[in-house]
Amino acid sequence: KAGVTQTPRYLIKTRGQQVTLSCSPISGHRSVSWYQQTPGQGLQFLFEYFSETQRNKGNFPGRFSGRQFSNSRSEMNVSTLELGDSALYLCASSPQEGLVGYFGPGTRLTVL
Amino acid sequence: AQSVTQLGSHVSVSEGALVLLRCNYSSSVPPYLFWYVQYPNQGLQLLLKYTSAATLVKGINGFEAEFKKSETSFHLTKPSAHMSDAAEYFCAVSLYNQGGKLIFGQGTELSVKP
């Protein structure tokens, strides 16, 4: 089975722009979670989606949003980018809601 | 609220030596506990998990961890380090009613000397 796919792998944006990251879960998995990884704050939970519904949300400002499509693919969007949004964004998929997921390789976002 | 503390941001061992990575957790209810490994420029790979069954959990690549409720610890061990074990290791906790939300420790970078 193919693993979790995240696109793009690398992204460079400037302050004030917005960005959309994509995550394709393992086939048959219906739950997708997103995490932000930075050297200063470490790994932090962003949100979890199951069957197109947000089930859980971390402590991030409203500039961070996400959605899940009927095929379980998920996108996250960050609007009005700030320098501090530079991070590795990781997606994890799992077969059911609430289970620990399999992580993708991440998208490295750099904000200039 | 639950939290995770990993003692030592960097651990260095010689090849063939014992690996011990420390993790302590804080949780008001029985937690689920996990260890992940991250190699450079890659995502996280699950090594092992504790979900209230056996307190000694065996994982992949020869790693194991023991859940000690009295010490609120979940330390990761491997009897004999290999060069390929060099990576960053993360301990994480979740609650049964918090779904896929993982709270991670700050990570421990493991170096293996030849």
B90 in contact with chain A, both atoms CB, cutoff 8 A:
yes
Nearest CA in chain A to B102: A45
Tell me which chain B residues have a C-beta less than 8 angstroms from the C-beta of A107.
Answer: none
Pairing of strands A102-103, A64-68: unpaired
Instruction: Give residue A101's pLDDT.
Output: 79
Predicted confidence at residue B2, as pLDDT, reads 79
**Nearest-angstrom CA–CA distance, A2 and A53:** 24
Q: Tell whether A90 is within 8 A of chain B (Cβ).
A: yes
What is the pLDDT confidence band of residue A42, given thresholds at 50, 70 and 90?
very high
**Nearest 5°: phi and psi at B84?**
-70, -5
Using one digit for the tens of pLDDT, what is the confidence trace for A8-34? 999 999 999 999 999 999 999 999 999
* Mean pLDDT for the stretch of residues A72-90: 97
Interface residue of B2, B35, B44, B46 to substitute, partner A, most A CBs within 10 Å = B44
**pLDDT band with cut points at 50, 70 and 90 for residue B99:** low
| A50, B25, B54 from A95: Cα distances, Å | 10, 27, 23
Structure token digits, residue B83: 């060069």
